[in-house]
Amino acid sequence: MSTEELVQVSQDNGVVRIRLNRPAKKNAFTQDMYTTCNEALKAADNDSSVHAVLFESSGDSFSAGNDLNDFLSTENLDESAPAFQFLHTLARAEVPIVAAVNGLAIGIGTTLLLHCDIVYSSDDAVFALPFVQLGLLPEAASSLLLPQICGYQKAAELLLLGESFDAQSAQQAGFVNHVVSLERLPVVVEETLDKLRKQSSKSLRISKHLLKQPTESVADRISREATFFAKALSSDEARQAIAAKLQKK
């Protein structure tokens, strides 16, 4: 199976779908798969007509993590490697990112979600961050993002012990928005994608940009928002949306 088939990329009415398609290996990532994901995400982020990117998977698992045999055979596994190139693109992406998770979400299968904006999980999902158990270290900025999302003690428990946890625990930790049945997962995800399609692509991206900004004073954030707000208010898109809203009243 070619790399393109191992990661299926498609675009549908303003949504780019990146589907991990290696079900026989529980969608474990290879370096080539990272390259395809990186190129697809970059292209989507550079396309202003794209309202959202969806990460999904084939088979009974989201991703079992990295293919360890592939990693061990990779030379020069530094920041120039495809895995880290993808992670940098993921962290910089301004387009909203949605994830649909089922089955195993191990290692990168979990840390990828820390960069997503809306995450849906089936109730059968199993998460784990087993880096320390493998003699490795946290990646994808999980040592920074996880404490920000769920607090230091919980992050330390998840990263230092590396034990598996269920979808409800992931929701309580704060990086899963909603837990639904496996049967309902695609329905709920499509409903959300339809909602994002109806929003202004530019407003979505700028709102995400603001949400991702480093901590600053309230006054500084008001000023930052005001700059974007004034530009948006003068746009034809905003004027048309406001006029349509007023006509409904």
User: Mean pLDDT score of the chain, rounded to an integer?
Assistant: 93
Average pLDDT over residues 153-163: 98
- 236 — pLDDT class (breaks 50, 70, 90): confident
The per-residue pLDDT for range 2-25, each reduced to its tens digit, is 666 999 999 999 999 999 999 999
* C-alpha to C-alpha distance for 151 and 154, rounded to whole angstroms: 6
72-86 confidence digits (pLDDT tens): 887 777 888 899 999
- Domains of the chain in start order, with CATH, are 3-197 (3.90.226.10), 213-248 (no CATH)
- Measured torsion, CA atoms of residues 133, 151, 45, 214, in degrees rounded to the nearest 10: -130
Cα–Cα distance for residue pair 209/216, rounded to 1 Å: 14
In DSSP terms, 104 is beta-bridged to 126
**pLDDT category, 65, cuts 50, 70, 90?**
very high
What pLDDT, on the 0 to 100 scale, is given for residue 188?
Answer: 98
pLDDT digits (tens, 9 = 90+) for 12-58: 999 999 999 999 999 999 999 999 999 999 999 999 999 999 999 99
- The one-letter amino acid code at 195 reads K
pLDDT at 23: 97
Cα 59-129-137 angle, rounded to 5 deg: 130
What are the residue ranges of helices labelled H in 46-198? 68-72, 82-92, 108-111, 142-150, 152-161, 167-173, 185-197
* pLDDT attached to residue 170: 98
> For the whole model, what pTM was predicted?
0.92
138/4: higher pLDDT:
138
Please count the residues of the chain: 249
C-beta of residue 166 within 8 angstroms of C-beta of residue 157? no
What's the confidence (pLDDT) of residue 4? 63
How high is the pLDDT of residue 207? 95
Q: What is the pLDDT of residue 242?
A: 73
Confidence label for 221 from pLDDT (cuts 50, 70 and 90) = confident
